[in-house]
Amino acid sequence: MSFQIKPNKKESENKTIRFPISLIEQIEKIAERNEVTFSGFVIQACEYALENLEEPLDNNSN
């Protein structure tokens, strides 16, 4: 299954995360081409990664 960028807005909470500058530049280019925000792209990429893990997540562990 390939990663498809979709416009989407959900309830959210602010978190601070540090990205390498080169990764920020790549994400900004792709997000702009697909008319989504930087945050929207990162959220969708994380959701995709979680849905496609080799091993299932244990919802009881933190």
Task: Return averaged pLDDT per consecutive 10 residues of the chain, 62 residues in all.
Answer: 69 90 98 94 93 76 54
Map tokens 């280019």 to a residue: 29
What is the rounded distance in angstroms from the CA atom of residue 37 to the CA atom of residue 26? 13
Map tokens 């009881």 to a residue: 60
Contact 52, 1 (CB under 8 A): yes
For the entire predicted model, the pTM comes to: 0.69
